[in-house]
Amino acid sequence: MAQSLSLQYEGAVVLPGSAQDASGQTFTVRGLSGLAYRGDLGYHAVMDNSDRIVPIDIQLNADGSVAQVGYLTGLQMDQARDHEGIAHVPGLSALYLSDENGPGLHRHGLDGTWQESLIVPPVFGAARSNRGFESLSIACDQLSLWTANEEALSVDGALATPTSGSVVRLLRFDLTGPSPVAAEQYAYWVEPMHGPYIPGGSGQSGLVDMVALPDGRILAMERSLALAFPPFLTRIFEVDTTGASDVSALGALAGATFTPVSKNLLWAGAATNLEGLALGPDLIQGGRSITGVTDDGDPITTNALVAFDLVGADGPCGCEASPYCVTTPNGAGAGARMGWLGTTSLSSNDLVLQVTGAIPGQFGLFFLGDKRTLLPVADGMRCVAGNLARLPALGLDSLGSAQFALDLSALPGGTTLAPGTTLDFQFWYRAPLPGGAGSNFSDALEVRFCD
């Protein structure tokens, strides 16, 4: 039986208004509408009505609140669309993007080039203007890609009003073959608007993003705009498709008989125009990070990150390596950071640990454990605990970087691995500093291994 879920709001942090692209040119960041996370690539936000992807470096506190945030080098797609959702392609340096006004789904490489457009079921051609594919999420088992229309298709029913909801279709794509194939569709009832229409008749309530959880459940985020306080209301629901009808054979939901998905409200609150939501790493104090971005395309919303702590969604999310914890400044800069190359596949045995931002010319070592902690030690924070084991000492190069290729069949301390095993890694290094303790730590990296 699945654990019950709870969602705790952990605050919001304003984002900068501009970033730089690969050519060093500054561009305005606006219309952030989707967010995706993958440990080795960090977070990627997508800007609507543009060709821009904005990588974001997000450092989290133990409770899931945002400790530090900044933009990395922006990416430019070779086609501009009304991109609203974003998801990483498992195992590939690529992204899926949802186009609201197609509606369509497209895959692009991280160099911006278009690779593939998915075949969308014809019924979604009845999407109302600017109410198409707003959401996008890849399931943790890497077998499914989920999206949905924001508000009812014209053949399925009416838009939401202050007194009645609207039915939309959750669409699953099967990722087991060489190309994604449209599979089941499930009916989902969006809540009514949370207040009356704004003078002039404007106002809406729609499904703006989804997050696939490790156990197969889904988080669905609804946004309502009305003449109320707050004018924007965000509702986040737990969704379960068990027992729901597959409505993919129905040309229209209006007048049809079907069983919709079940939904359970986890959180409702004022988060201005919150549009994108991403499942992030496990948190030190328990739970899992959920982070969102707001769309500044209205008079009251600014670019911001909104943070949550989700409890009850434990379990591995595919084969992943996720940075966590904090780093502290050293004599060379902001602090040492963990990274990785290769995969977390036991059969491939090609995982390489990396560290950057340590002290050039000094030495250090990677160590591992099977538990987390947050313990001040020397000039930094030790984040790894449990059954600790050290890897060989390494010299740091002129940039304060080092790497170590792991042999997963011969880890120190008698550590043995099986599919699903999780280990934590960190880097300790010499850091001479007047008045300091002489050593420091990087942040940490949690690795889940698979076959």
Is residue 346 packed enough to be buried (19+ CB in 10 Å), middle (13-18) or exposed (0-12)?
A: middle
Q: What is the Cα–Cα distance from 48 to 29, expressed in whole angstroms?
A: 10
Query: Is 60 within 8 Å of 306 (Cβ atoms)?
Result: no
Sequence letter at residue 396: L
- 61-81 burial: b if 16+ Cβ within 10 Å, else e: bbbbbbeebebeebbbbeeeb
Which of 406, 425, 444, 436 has its CA nearest to residue 331? 436
Q: What is the Cα–Cα distance from 375 to 21, expressed in whole angstroms?
A: 38
Taking only the tens of pLDDT, the chain with its 451 residues reads 578 999 999 999 999 999 999 889 999 999 999 999 876 567 999 999 999 999 998 888 888 999 889 998 999 999 999 999 999 876 567 899 999 998 999 999 988 999 999 999 999 999 999 999 999 999 877 789 999 999 999 999 999 999 999 999 999 999 888 889 999 999 999 999 999 999 998 999 999 999 999 888 999 999 999 999 999 999 999 999 999 999 999 999 999 999 999 999 999 999 999 999 999 887 877 788 999 999 999 999 999 999 999 999 866 566 677 777 889 999 999 999 998 888 788 888 999 999 999 999 999 999 999 888 889 999 999 999 999 999 999 999 999 999 999 999 999 988 888 877 889 999 999 999 888 899 999 999 988 887 7
Query: Is 159 within 8 Å of 141 (Cβ atoms)?
Result: no
Q: What is the Cα–Cα distance from 419 to 344, expressed in whole angstroms?
A: 10
Query: Is 64 within 8 Å of 57 (Cβ atoms)?
Result: no
DSSP, collapsed to helix, strand or coil, labels residue 198 as strand
Sequence letter at residue 135: S
In the chain, how many H helices and how many E strands?
Answer: 0, 34
Q: Where are the beta strands (DSSP E) in 118-226?
A: 137-138, 144-148, 166-174, 181-190, 204-212, 218-225
Query: Is 390 within 8 Å of 412 (Cβ atoms)?
Result: yes
Q: How is residue 380 written in tokens?
A: 């930094």
Write down the pTM of the prediction. Answer: 0.78
> Kindly report the CA angle at 219 between 227 and 418, in degrees rounded to 5?
160
Give the bridge partners for 186, in sequence order. Answer: 170, 246
Q: What is the Cα–Cα distance from 277 to 266, expressed in whole angstroms?
A: 14
Q: What is the Cα–Cα distance from 10 to 404, expressed in whole angstroms?
A: 36
Q: How is residue 333 written in tokens?
A: 């800069």
Show Cβ contacts of residue 14 under 8 Å, excluding neighbours closer than 6 positions: 302, 303, 304
Show Cβ contacts of residue 148 under 8 Å, excluding neighbours closer than 6 positions: 133, 134, 135, 168, 169, 170, 171, 188, 207, 210, 220
> Kindly report the CA angle at 399 between 393 and 403, in degrees rounded to 5?
40
Instruction: Name all domains of the chain by residue range, CATH numbers in brackets.
Output: 6-311 (2.115.10), 320-448 (2.60.40.10)
